[in-house]
């Protein structure tokens, strides 16, 4: 009995000691001790600073979370056009955010107003910036139609404020997305007291424009290096308030430093700065439009939708709205909106956003209203053998330009670059205050297996290796730069040329060759979804078409997307059809 008592006493002591050690460990962890070194994280005296209380990415203004997953890309119900460019293939898309609606006229007008205030068109250095960003309102004109009302009013009249913007080419849509990134992050940093309050409105000078990438790389040079605007102190840990324009994640992120940190800027590790707004990839757009999540039962899809909504018809079957069209599209020759007194879809041209029910991801107008630009360069096939994860054709990898002094080079009014498009329109390639970009070189590509050059738009379809003229191991194919001669190219699309003569006049040279066999090149982009001008055939999310990236129309608009960082989903998984 004595032995048993001694053993029991020893066991109790051992258990108490274990509990004590565990509690000490938990106590140490709760104080922010590092699991790697045991050192204190976010010590007021200095050392390693990290947003250890970060919970999740903030949802940017206008965005809806689209949980990623697998789907069959390119599977169409009908192929009456016999395009042979919709080969079904299995793809997986990571979670991302997408605009709830198309970008509206009001949203784009805010962009134009900002450009006009910061880069006055009456100044010689900036005269092409505002004009280059302005939508082409002449897209509404028709040789045998009277559409001057839309030409004069559609963009700017408040009656069309909540209608999707049109007349915007792919390049302009991309530039809008970049501008939006900077304005949203500027607001977040202002609310977290990393930027002077209201400086984004009161200090609207071309030399003091906030750029996200410049702030991250060289914060002391951001906003023209004005230390009164770029503050070197954040809020105390745990004191960050919730931002109205940037929810949940921003409230939980903590600035680096202690209760009153000095000489501190926000960084990626602060958890405050959002990823870029951008155009969605074709795979993302199609996945979001199809919204097969509404057809899910356990780990399978019960069927393939023909449209973003369930069913095989364009009309609603619900009792209250039975017979109403579920999208804005052309129902027949000369029928854009039905009979007066009872309109089939409530519109003859575009319609106000949110006029039709959303799909199962909560996204509006993923069919009809306007077709939408996506990021991808068009090719007849989607090369699923090369990649089946976050598929995207269009990568052109760039890096920050380093000057002779070893520091990053910023764009100024003097070295700002402009592009003259094939139609003669002049568009700004970059803006003062941004970091100048150059293509990646051998320093980044040497001995890599995943990429070996900056421009990957032609990879496996259009580059020299894809041509029948390519000779493996030979260094003599093509010209001295390894490019193919004009008569050896896979895609020999027309090459129109625009130049400026010595008098400053625009000289347009049309390619009148009758030997061209295709319109496909590296400057044509995919657009998805049917529009108010299209028949129901084009409402299928898998349908794909292409258009030159520098030309605008009255039926193509766009919406933005943003990558998701962190976990795939916010909520726990649910069984059967529940979401």
pLDDT of residue 10: 62
pLDDT of residue 273: 96
CA-to-CA dists, residue 305 to 77, 290, 296, 361, 529, angstroms: 9, 7, 11, 14, 14
Strands 371-377 and 556-557: parallel
- 139: DSSP letter: G
pLDDT of residue 486: 73
Q: Please, what sign has the CA dihedral across residues 477, 483, 488, 490?
A: positive
31: Cβ–Cβ under 8 A, 6 or more apart, which residues?
Answer: 40
Contact 458, 439 (CB under 8 A): no
- 518: DSSP letter: -
Using CA atoms, how far apart are residues 90 and 343, in angstroms rounded to an integer? 39
Helix, strand or coil, per DSSP, at residue 550: coil
Please list the pLDDT of the chain residue by residue as tens digits (579 residues): 554 555 566 656 666 655 555 555 444 444 558 889 999 988 888 888 888 888 999 999 999 999 999 999 998 888 877 777 888 999 999 999 999 999 999 999 999 999 999 999 999 889 899 999 999 999 999 999 999 999 999 999 999 999 999 999 999 999 999 999 999 999 999 999 999 999 999 888 888 999 999 999 999 999 999 989 998 764 443 334 443 334 343 333 444 444 444 558 999 989 999 999 999 999 999 999 999 988 887 787 877 788 998 878 888 877 777 878 889 999 999 999 888 887 788 899 999 999 999 999 999 999 999 999 999 999 999 999 999 999 999 999 999 999 989 999 999 888 898 988 888 888 998 999 999 999 999 999 999 999 999 999 999 998 888 888 877 765 544 444 556 777 778 888 998 888 777 777 778 888 888 888 899 999 999 999 999 999 999 999 999 999 999 999 999 999 999 999 999 998 777 665 555
Contact 493, 330 (CB under 8 A): no
| Tokens at 57, concatenated | 């990415």
The pTM assigned to this predicted structure is: 0.89
| Tokens at 248, concatenated | 């949940």
């Amino acid at each position: 009995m004595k032995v048993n008592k001694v053993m029991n006493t020893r066991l109790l002591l051992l258990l108490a000691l274990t509990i004590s050690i565990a509690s000490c460990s938990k106590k140490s962890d709760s104080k922010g001790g590092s699991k790697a070194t045991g050192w204190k994280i976010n010590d007021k005296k200095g050392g390693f600073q990290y947003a250890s209380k970060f919970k999740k990415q903030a949802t940017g203004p206008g965005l809806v979370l689209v949980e990623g997953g697998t789907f069959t890309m390119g599977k169409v119900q009908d192929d009456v056009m016999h395009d042979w460019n919709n080969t079904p293939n299995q793809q997986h898309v990571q979670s991302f955010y997408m605009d709830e609606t198309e970008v509206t006229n009001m949203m784009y007008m805010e962009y134009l107003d900002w450009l006009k205030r910061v880069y006055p068109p009456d100044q010689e250095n900036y005269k092409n910036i505002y004009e280059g960003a302005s939508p082409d309102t002449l897209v509404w004109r028709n040789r045998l139609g009277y559409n001057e009302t839309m030409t004069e009013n559609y963009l700017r009249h408040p009656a069309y404020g909540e209608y999707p913007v049109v007349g915007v080419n792919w390049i302009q849509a991309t530039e809008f997305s970049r501008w939006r990134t900077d304005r949203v992050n500027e607001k977040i940093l202002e609310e977290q007291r990393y930027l002077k309050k209201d400086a984004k409105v009161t200090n609207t000078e071309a030399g003091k424009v906030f750029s996200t990438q410049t702030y991250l790389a060289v914060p002391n040079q951001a906003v023209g290096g004005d230390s009164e605007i770029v503050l070197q102190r954040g809020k105390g840990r745990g004191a960050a308030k919730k931002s109205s324009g940037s929810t949940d994640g921003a409230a939980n992120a903590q600035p680096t430093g202690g209760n009153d940190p000095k000489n501190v800027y926000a960084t990626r590790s602060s958890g405050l700065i959002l990823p870029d707004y951008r155009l969605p990839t074709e795979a993302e757009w199609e996945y979001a439009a199809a919204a097969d999540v509404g057809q899910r039962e356990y780990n399978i899809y019960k069927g393939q939708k023909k449209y973003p909504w369930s069913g095989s018809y364009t009309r609603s079957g619900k009792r209250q709205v039975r017979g109403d069209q579920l999208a804005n599209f052309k129902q027949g020759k000369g029928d854009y909106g039905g009979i007066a007194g009872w309109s089939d879809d409530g519109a003859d041209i575009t319609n106000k956003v949110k006029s039709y029910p959303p799909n199962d991801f909560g996204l509006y107008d993923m069919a009809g209203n306007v077709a939408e630009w996506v990021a991808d360069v068009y090719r007849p096939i989607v090369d699923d053998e090369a990649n089946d994860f976050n598929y995207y054709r269009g990568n052109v990898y760039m890096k920050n330009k380093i000057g002779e002094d070893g520091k990053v080079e910023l764009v100024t009014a003097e070295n700002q670059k402009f592009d003259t498009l094939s139609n003669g329109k002049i568009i700004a390639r970059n803006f003062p205050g941004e970091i100048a970009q150059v293509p990646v070189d051998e320093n980044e590509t040497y001995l890599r297996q995943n990429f070996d050059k900056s421009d990957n738009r032609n990879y496996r379809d259009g580059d020299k290796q894809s041509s029948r003229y390519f000779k493996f191991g030979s260094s003599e194919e093509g010209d001295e730069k390894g490019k193919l001669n004009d008569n050896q190219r896979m895609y020999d699309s027309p090459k129109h040329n625009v130049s400026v003569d010595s008098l400053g006049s625009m000289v347009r040279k049309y390619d009148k060759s009758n030997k061209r066999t295709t319109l496909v090149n590296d400057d044509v982009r995919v657009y998805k979804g049917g529009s108010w001008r299209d028949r129901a055939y084009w409402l299928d999310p898998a349908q794909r078409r292409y258009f030159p990236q520098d030309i605008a129309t009255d039926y193509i608009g766009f919406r933005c997307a943003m990558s998701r960082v962190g976990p795939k989903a916010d909520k726990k998984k649910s069984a059967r059809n529940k979401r």
